[in-house]
Amino acid sequence: MVSTEKIRSFPYPFGEHDVYRYSNNAIPLNPPIAIEVTETYIEEMNLKRELLKKHPERCYYSEPHTMDAQWEALDQILHDLSKYYPETFKLVTNGDQWIFNNLHTDEKYSFTFGDSTTLDEEPLDFAGRHVQEDLILMMQRDGDLFLDVGQLCFPANWSLYFDAGMSFKEIHTPIPGFKSDSLDERILQFLMRIEAGSPWWRKNWSLMAGNILDTSLETFAEWGQARKKVTKENAGEMVHFRVEVQKLFRLPKSNGILFTIHTHMLQLQEFIQHTPWLEQFSAILKELPEFITDYKGISLYREVVLEYLEGELKKR
Amino acid sequence: MNQDHLSLMEGKRKFLFCADSQGVRSLYILVSQAIDENAPFDFHIFQEESEESFVDEWISHQKMGTYLYISGAVDFVKRIQNKALKIGFTEHDFQSLPIGPAKKKLVCCTCHGESEVDVEPHITCAHCGLELEVSDHYSRRLDAYLGYVTIR
């Protein structure tokens, strides 16, 4: 059993509607914190660092012109850690001489801010090794946003290696229905108007057969197989609810956008302990159109999950 | 970028027409339109790849507002496009008409190995042996399409 605490703090992704469609569901972020440290911190840091070591080509990409923006992102992230989690992260800045102390991992780093030769990794790569979030930097030019840097260990079935360098719309071409009513254009316009000092956030959700965080497209052949093994009997245990908390910060100097993605997972049987969630999610899943279930990878086991949810509803 | 037909752009300072022996004919109609409009233009035909070294010099001497048309075999078009982009032309400064069969590069989502595809919807990755579905997800950086693994 997971703690009631974990269920209580799970970022439930739905609003008041019992119907889900793609939309720009971003809202202002208060307080403006780019990251969150949870009880699975150490476990996720170990997994992240192992993935970065074994698969650097799929977990990290950067264009050479992004160094200033990377330092800006590092600045934001390390300051957030030390400000909001002062017991476990210490940051001392003396001009350009910075000392960062991570008490979770018992690590201490001294470096010169802005001088990449004083860190073992690039600044964004370094920052990402101390937070549970995946970190993406979108750079703005020619009236568009481009994915020019990213550290991605826990992707929801996409490839940083393939998508690196793409524009916002190019990245989202594989999503069926994302272009209708010019949704992609409207979201792009919204993102390009984000101002420094006024960050935004949104939640994205899917279901997953299994419970691994690193669902990269590169390993889909392995973890995707589990979708065929879900039954009405094992759905509660096997299927997990997966929510990405995504935060968007304009970086004032480089004009880039820092996009942080924190992935939360909760076993379906834990998720439905909260009856209002069970009721609403059943209604949403029942109504969900095929183009969305296909893209979210739920189609193969949607029916058995619905049967499981029906059974649980009868017990309440 | 690549088109299935070319059209003469309005309001350009000058046109450059660039073709190999296969692509010449598809530019004639544009050239006659340019003549009708009294628009300045250059026209170069490249018979051999070795002659293409001249392209860099020719394109880099042009002024802002110059518009480029490229027509010819797929590889020829790709080579000239890359030269133009390197010199500073953007995608809005030229049109291309590749002639003949266009092979696409496909990147395997699992091993990142590259294969060539024509029109077939599925191929087997030559590097890792997995069956791939050819998608229309395109990466400019890799000049390739993404091949997805399907679970059966």
pLDDT in tens, A164-222: 999 999 999 999 989 888 999 999 999 999 999 999 999 999 999 999 999 999 999 99
Place of tokens 């299927």: A239
Nearest Cβ partner of A174 from B90, B111, B137? Answer: B137
Chain B CB contacts of A146 under 8 Å are none
Residue B150 has pLDDT above 90, yes or no: no
Give, in degrees to the nearest 5, the angle at Cα A58 between A179 and A170.
20
Judged against a pLDDT cut of 60, whether residue A232 lies above it is answered with yes
- The pLDDT value recorded for residue B41 is 96
Q: Which of B75, B30, B32, B33 is nearest to B52 (CA)?
A: B75
Whether residues A221 and B136 touch (CB distance < 8 A) is answered with no
Cα distances (Å, whole numbers) of residue B73 to A77, A255, B39, B67: 50, 41, 27, 20
What residues contact residue A184 under an 8 Å CB cut-off, 6+ apart?
A: A168, A169, A172, A178
The 3 state secondary structure assigned to chain A is CCCHHHHHHCCCCCCCCCCCCCCCCCEECCCCCCCCCCCCHHHHHHHHHHHHHHCHHHHEEECHHHHHHHHHHHHHHHHHHHHHCCCCEEEEEECCEEEEEECCCCEEEEEECCCHHHCCCCHHHHHHCCCCCEEEEEEEECCEEEEEEEECCCCCCCCHHHHCCCEHHHHHCCCCCCCHHHHHHHHHHHHHCCCCCCCEEEEEEEEEECCCCCCCHHHHHHHHHHHHHCCCCCHHHHEEEEEEEEEEEECCCCCCEEEEEEEEEEEHHHHCCCHHHHHHHHHHHHHCCHHHHHHHCCHHHHHHHHHHHHHHHHHC
Residue A220 near residue B149 (C-beta atoms within 8 A): yes
CB-hemisphere CA count at 13 Å for A204?
A: 15
- Cβ contacts of B114 on chain A, cutoff 8 Å: none
Among chain A residues, CA nearest to B129: A221
A57:B130 CB<8 A: no
Q: Give tens-digit pLDDT for A85-111.
A: 999 999 999 999 999 999 999 999 999
Q: Which residues of A touch B151 (CB under 8 A)?
A: 220-221, 224-225, 227-228
pLDDT tier, B1 (very low <50, low <70, confident <90, very high otherwise): low
Determine which helix (DSSP H) or strand (DSSP E) holds B152, and give its type and residue range: none
A5-57 tens-digit pLDDT: 778 889 999 999 999 999 999 999 999 999 999 999 999 999 999 999 999 99
**Residues of A recognised as catalytic:** 202
The phi-psi region of residue B11 (left if phi > 0; otherwise alpha if psi is between -120 and 50; otherwise beta) is left
CA distances from B71 to A247, B4, B14, B43, B94 (A): 46, 11, 17, 11, 11
First to last CA, chain B: 37
What pLDDT, in 10s, does the model give residues B12-48?
Answer: 999 999 999 999 999 999 999 999 999 999 999 999 9
Q: For position B53, what pLDDT does the model report?
A: 87
Contact B58, B71 (CB under 8 A): no
CB nearest A162 (choices: B90, B136, B146)? B146
Q: What is the mean pLDDT of chain A?
A: 96
The tokens for B126 are: 């030559």
> A229 CA to chain B: closest CA distance, Å?
12
Q: Which of B109, B130, B142 is the closest to A217 by Cβ?
A: B109
Contact B112 A57 (CB under 8 A): yes
**What is the reported pLDDT for A62?**
98
CB atoms A219 and B110 under 8 Å:
yes
Task: Inspect the interface and report whether the beta carbons of A221 and B137 lie closer than 8 Å.
Answer: no
Nearest to B28 by CA among B48, B4, B8, B47: B8
Q: What is the pTM of this model?
A: 0.89
CB proximity A220 to B under 8 Å: yes
8 Å CB contact of B151 and A228? yes
Number of C-alpha atoms within 13 angstroms, CB side, residue A92?
Answer: 6
**Looking at beta carbons, which residues of chain B come within 8 Å of A162?**
107, 109, 137, 139, 142, 146
Mind listing the pLDDT tens digit for each residue in A278-312?
999 999 999 999 999 999 999 999 999 999 999 99
Give chain B positions within 8 Å (CB) of A166: 139-141
Which one of A162, A216, A222 makes the best mutation probe of the B interface by having the most chain B beta carbons within 10 Å?
A162
For A139-172, give one letter per residue: b (16+ CB within 10 A) or e: bbeeeebbbbbbbbbbbbbbbbbbbbbbbbebbb
B138 and A170 within 8 Å at the Cβ level: the answer is yes
Query: Distance of alpha carbon A289 from its chain centroid, rounded?
Result: 24
What tokens were used for A123? 């600044």
* CB-defined contacts A:B, below 8 A: 50
Please report residues of B whose CB lies closer than 8 A to that of A142: 90
Q: Do A173 and B136 lie within an 8 Å CB cutoff? A: yes
Q: Which of A159, A163, A227 sits opposite B151 (nearest CB)?
A: A227
CA distance linking residue B42 with residue B63, whole number of Å? 13
Query: What are the pLDDT digits (tens) for A238-275?
Result: 999 999 999 999 999 999 999 999 999 999 999 999 99
Of A142, A164, A224, the CB nearest to B151: A224
Cis-peptide, bond into residue A31, ω within 30° of zero? yes
| Chain B interface residues (partner A, CB cutoff 8 A) | 90, 107, 109-112, 130, 135-142, 146, 148-149, 151
Strand ranges (E), B7-130: 14-20, 41-46, 66-73, 94-99, 104-108, 114-117, 122-124
Q: Which of A166, A146, A153, A92 is nearest to A254 (CA)?
A: A146
